[in-house]
Amino acid sequence: MRMRKKKHGAERLAACSAILCERPEVPFTGESGNFPRVAPIRLEIGCGKGGFSCAMAEKNPNVNFYAMEKVSDVLVIAAERAMGEADRRPDNLRFLRGDAATLPEWFADGALEGIYLNFSDPWPKAGHKKRRLTYRAFLTLYFNALKAGGFLALKTDNDGLFDFTLEELEFLGYTPLWQTRDLHASPYNEGNVMTEYEKQFSEAGKNINALYVIKP
Ligand code: SAH
């Protein structure tokens, strides 16, 4: 997501320090004390403006959520939204400024119960495929961070990225538990929380692809 440079970005982010985590010296485990309650941990990678993680945290009080975003000017929008009203601020949601490539520096192997990838940048040129967040090297990081029985859930408008993801999963020996080319018309839509991009694309009539893989 490209944004015009935000004024006072650093100060605005600093004002959200209550819900931001710095990159730890020792990677977080499932028990790390960033949350008031010990609970299963899920991570959204590339949270954008944060609507999905905010809504998921509210809907699932017995799960602790991290939302990771690499672009500070986008992260600040998400974090300010979550800071919003102090009395309604979810205590099970924390934000991380970082790149998916640094995942092992944030999370110990097996720390996560679930990972969400929503509308990741498609990087359509063949020469850029290693930048796609579902390139095999990224998927390997995700599956290392997941515990056995944990899940990777992906949604994308981009049919090419979806096909590529299925190929990369197959290369690594993973078969999705389910997949659909039209999430909103499928049985898997029950309980679905729409992201900002998802609302835009589906309002424009685009089918939404989705898949769900479990780590054996
Ligand atoms: N998930 C949101 C935003 C999708 S746009 C939604 O569905 O509405 C993709 C987001 O991923 C952008 O905000 C972009 O900055 C972020 N992103 C891209 N590459 C990333 C990476 N390597 N690590 C972390 N975030 C990344």
pLDDT digits (tens, 9 = 90+) for 71-95: 999 999 999 999 986 777 889 999 9
Q: 121 catalytic, yes or no? A: yes
Share of the chain above pLDDT 70, in %: 97
pLDDT digits (tens, 9 = 90+) for 99-142: 999 999 999 999 999 999 999 999 999 999 999 999 999 999 99
pLDDT for 4 equals 60
Mutation to probe ligand 1, out of 97, 119, 132 (largest number of atoms < 8 A from CB): 119
CA dihedral in degrees (76, 79, 80, 85; nearest 10)? 180
What gap in Å lies between CA 177 and CA 112, rounded to an integer?
A: 18
pTM for the model stands at: 0.96
- Which is nearest to 208 in space by CA: 133, 156, 165? 156
